Homo-oligomer: A and B are copies of this chain.
Amino acid sequence: MLPRNNMTSAPIKTATQSQEDLKAIIAPIKEELAIVETWLTTNLIDDNPFVGELLSQVFQSGGKRVRVAIALLGSKASLIEGREMGRLNIIQAVLTELIHTASLVHDDVIDSASLRRGKETVNKRFNERLAVLLGDLLFAQASICLARIMNPVVVGIYGQVLGDLCAGEIKQMRSQFNIEVNWEAYINKSIAKTASLFAAGAHAGAILNAAPDLQVQALKDYGVNLGICFQIVDDLLDVTGEATELGKQPGSDLRAGVITAPALYILERDDETAKRLRELIKTRQICTDEGSEEGIALIKANGGVEATVKLAGHYADLAKQSLSKLAPSDARDSLENLINYVLIRTK
């Protein structure tokens, strides 16, 4: 659970309350969400039933469909009054989740991760080879969705997202165990890894709806800022979370030498705490259970958590501000509530 956030009014909530919040947030797009679920497991490639089985296995293992909600709500918030959401808006939401899931499956291979959402990863449960194939299959499904949308601008947006996802992974890989504090690099990595897809999800529907440029841009800004906020919260949870909440062991970033906001706030100090954390990282003691526990303790005892919550709150506020450029609607309210949901999510 996250500590109280000073910059937004998000109260401390339990996991159950959080689920209730999500239920209210997705109320305006309930029907569309059900259609998306069917699409996600539909074999678009050929008539081989095995492909459908693989897709079912992936998508029945859960996930909160945050990116689907953003896409559908973005589409709904940018509809011309009286119009209904179209098939292309649905496909754009499907596509967004497909790319997200594909990148998770491949990231778990790249990071040799064994747990995700409390369940064994595909690479762990089966093997790395099937995980590679499955990720490719999901990317292929996404490409077919993209083709059905038939909009060159949207193709360009998602093409760049795919590049950003790889670039983000490369940036992370190459900055492992790097103790230099570079906030710009950290934010850019967060954009590439996470916020780029959030932004695509949030504003591509508005493009398909031929919404005014101001609305398209507002939704894009919302997506980028919410995505950065989401990644910061993710990084924070790796420090503050419990294994049961996270669905994986906490401290895994630190053990892998991935230095995120909570650690950066310590490293940028000029004191003994910073010196000790630098030492833990440089000597790779951080890779051990004892080392990562000491690192987490240093972060917690020296304000790393509070500063990170504040940083997440800053991007949450920016996301909120972007929404003011949209006309009031249930969908816009849900997009706003989604910001608080991201800030207080417990896993």
Contact = CB atoms under 8 A, between A and B. Distances in A.
Interface of A: 44-46, 48, 50-51, 103, 106, 109-112, 128-129, 132-133, 135-137, 139-141, 143-144, 146-148, 150-152, 155-156, 158-160, 162-167, 169-171, 173-174, 192
26 contacts: A45-B160, A45-B164, A45-B167, A46-B164, A51-B167, A51-B170, A103-B136, A106-B132, A106-B133, A109-B129, A111-B129, A112-B129, A128-B132, A132-B135, A133-B169, A136-B166, A137-B166, A139-B139, A140-B159, A140-B162, A140-B165, A141-B163, A143-B158, A144-B159, A150-B155, A150-B156
Contact of A159 (B103, B143, B171): B143
B146 A155 contact: yes
A146 B157 CA distance: 11
Contacts of A192: 46
Given A132-B132, A139-B139, 15 more contacts: A51-B167, A106-B132, A109-B132, A110-B132, A128-B128, A137-B166, A137-B170, A143-B163, A144-B156, A144-B159, A144-B160, A150-B152, A150-B156, A152-B152, A152-B155
A133 to B, nearest CB: 6
A163 B45 contact: yes
Contacts of A170: 48, 50-51, 133, 137
Contact of A106 (B51, B136, B143): B136
A129 B131 CA distance: 11
Contacts of A159: 140, 143-144, 146-147
A116 B250 CA distance: 40
A48 B171 contact: yes
Contacts of A45: 160, 163-164, 166-167
Nearest to A103: B136
Contacts of A111: 129
Given A48-B171, A132-B132, A163 B144 contact: yes
Given A146-B159, A167-B48, A128 B109 contact: yes
A44 B151 CA distance: 20
Contacts of A135: 132, 136
Contacts of A109: 128-129, 132
A174 B50 contact: yes
A108 to B, nearest CB: 10
A181 to B, nearest CB: 20
Contacts of A146: 155, 159
A281 B156 CA distance: 48
Nearest to A128: B128
